[in-house]
Structure 1
Amino acid sequence: MKPELNLSIKNKETVQRTKNNIIKNLLFSQKITPYVMVSPFIILFLVFFLYPLLSTINMSFYKILPGESTFIGLENYKRLWNPDFFLALKNSAVYTLWTLVVLIPIPLLFSVFLNSHHLPGKEIFRSALFMPILTSVIVGGVIFKLMFAQSDTALINSIITKLGFNSHEWLMEKGSGMFMMVMLASWRWLGVNILYFLSGLQNIPKELYEAADIDGANKMKKFFLITVPLLRPVTVYVTTISIFAGFRMFEESYALWQGQSPSNIGLTVVGYIYRQGFQFNDMGFGAAIGVVLLIIVLTVNLIQLKYTGAFKKED
């Protein structure tokens, strides 16, 4: 082999080894590797959250019509001062409050029972309670509409008439309409919250309960002095996601009324966004509603996190 050819091959091998070493050092570098590992999340965050958020904020300052957009400043935000928006905000707030009342204490109690070693067939109960989340909310809404229909032959009305009460128009009145939305949400999300609390219960050391038994504590004292305090992180998490879910609720209302509830008893903020942005083709006003909703939800959750001690460092 000619010396020039041999030298060329060695140079190529040296260059290739250098490239491999550089790539290896980059991949296993303590400074670069963490950024490589989190880059998928950063990319998804930028593409599917930050960019849409900035676009929505920008749209809220425009009057957008098919094929044209006009800058109008704060006019869309001034239009928010109207009865429909305040009614939608009130309905969403009341709905969120009721879901918190139902979907935190009840799943907590259910999880305590399902975590007991003395409950037979608890795996069956866990599966049955989790099944509704696998069902489409539209399907669930249709079933609830049939159960609570206005006719006397509907399931719920037939039961209450046999008990001596008058039949009720469940979807036509404000109180019963809210009751149905909360009931549909509770049926759907109860099992998920139970799983959250179950995971927290299984992380509580059993030695604490054994020590409490030695001290003579009954079940009620163990629940309030051990279970509830040690489940605080899970409770804060469930409360936070429940507030977000409550204010962004749309499917339950739409499944029951298809966006046309009497006297807007089922109108929510997200439903108002849908009505203005898609039905009335006023995307700029819909974007302004969305921005205000984001600010409200963030404010409520920050207050909630502050007063529940979520920002305090653990000792």
Structure 2
Amino acid sequence: MKRILYSQKIAPFIFVLPFVLTLAVFWISPLIKSGIMSTQNILPGVTESVGLKNFQRLFGDRLFYVALGNSIKYMLWTLLLLIPGPLILAVLINSKIGSDKFKAVFKSVLFIPALSSVVVAGVVFRLIFSESSTSLMNQIVAIFGVDPVKWLKNSGTGFFALLTLACWRWTGVNILYFLAGLQAIPQDYYEAADLDGASKWQQFWHVTVPSIKPTIVFVLTISVYGGLAMFLESFMLWGGNNSPQNIGLTIVGYLYRQGIERNNLGYASAVGIILLILVMAINIPQLIATGTFKKEER
């Protein structure tokens, strides 16, 4: 056994084996099973093969397109809000401006929301955006002479509440990602740019951004998946999976409705396969476009 572990040919495979087994058991196997189930009509005690009928039904379902549109809109807005904003804040925190104690407190305060439960956060934000005149948001708009708003019953205001929850929860996490990338940039780069007469903006655009490109690509990739796979935030904000006129219904919420609430596992599996294809169709091209898959020249 000792001889096998110390073998330069065999040892690497042994150390990689736990990851391969985990990937096979918890990702590849469920994916294959879900693919098979998507071609079946599954009822209690009865499983019937239906070919591609679940997908045909899916593409003719108006509610699916509502859920798809909500998820894509949420993903795009979170990309716009949760990448540039945290990046700028991370640059300011990493700069020499301000005291270190204030920066440490600021980072801690921003990261605390990520440690809280989504369930608790959803309930709290449901109260904040309540239609009651005593809710926090209605007290704020009342200062400007606006009547109480039914925040979670209108499409625009409901989506605003959902984005507010997302920003509150994930801004601090993305700041830490960007800070890790910024602190790995050698200070010599900035000193050389300063000697060449580069402005702060030029240093940011030509030194900072290219240097933390891997971090930006990572945050972009997980944000695309997180935006399309969002479910629990919406579920808790509206106190269930039945928001008014489905304004908070997402793809995963639609999957949950079909698979859990209506016990239609075959149809729900088809929704899951479409979600996977959509995530891959967005992330793979952007990873290729950003040069992630290119081999480094030696």
Q: For 1:100-158, what per-residue CA distance to the aligned partner results, in whole angstroms no more than 9, with x for missing partners? A: 00000001011011112332221111111111010011111111111111011111111
The DSSP-based 3-state class of the residue aligned with 2:58 is coil
Runs of 4+ in 1 over 4 A off after TM superposition: none
Between 163-172 and 100-109, report the one with greater CA deviation: 163-172
Using the alignment, how far apart are the partners of 1:42 and 1:232 within structure 2?
28
Partner of 2:220: 239
- Structure 1 residue 299 corresponds to structure 2 residue 281: yes
**2:197 counterpart residue number:** 216
Aligned-partner residue type, residue 107 of structure 1: P
Deviation at 1:260, TM superposition (A): 1.1
1:114 and 2:93 aligned:
yes
The separation in 2 between residues aligned to 1:164 and 1:309, in whole angstroms, is 52
Alignment size in residue pairs: 293
Partner of 1:39: 17
- TM superposition shift of 1:211: 1.1
**CA RMSD between the two structures:** 1.1
Which whole-Å CA distance do the structure 2 matches of 1:205 and 1:243 have between them?
30
Aligned to 1:7: none
Which of 157-166 and 232-241 deviates more?
Answer: 157-166
Question: 2:258 is matched with which residue?
Answer: 276
Aligned counterpart, 1:147? 128
Q: Find the aligned partners of 2:290 and 2:37 in 1 and give their Cα distance.
A: 35
Q: Which runs of 5+ in 2 are unaligned?
A: none
Alpha-carbon offset, residue 29 of structure 1: 0.5
CA distance in 1, matches of 2:287, 2:247: 30
1:58-98 Cα offsets, whole Å, 9 max, x none, are: 11111111122111111111110210001100000000000
Please give the alpha-carbon distance, in whole angstroms, between the structure 2 residues aligned to 1:306 and 1:179. 32
- In the TM superposition, 1:48-87 aligns within 5 A as 48-81=26-59, 82-87=61-66
Give yes or no for the alignment of 1:251 onto 2:232: yes
CA deviation after TM superposition for structure 1 residue 186, in Å: 1.3
Q: What is the TM-score normalised by the length of structure 2?
A: 0.96
- How far apart, in 2, do the equivalents of 1:307 and 1:179 lie? 31
Instruction: Describe how 1:91-106 pairs up with structure 2 within 5 A.
Output: 91-106=70-85
SS in structure 1 opposite 2:275?
helix
Amino acid at match of 2:214: P
Tell me the secondary structure at the aligned position of residue 167 of structure 1: coil
CA–CA distance in 2 between the matches of 1:111 and 1:285? 43
Distance 2:194 2:278 in 1: 46
Select the structure of larger CA radius of gyration.
1
Q: Given residue 55 of structure 1, which amino acid in structure 2 is its aligned partner?
A: K
> 5+ residue gaps in structure 1?
1-22
Q: Which residue number corresponds to residue 128 of structure 1? A: 109
Q: TM-score when scaled to structure 1?
A: 0.91
Question: Does residue 30 of structure 1 match 2:13?
Answer: no
Specify the SS of the correspondent of 1:227.
helix
Identify which of 177, 181, 185 aligns with 1:200: 181
CA drift of 1:253 comes to: 0.6
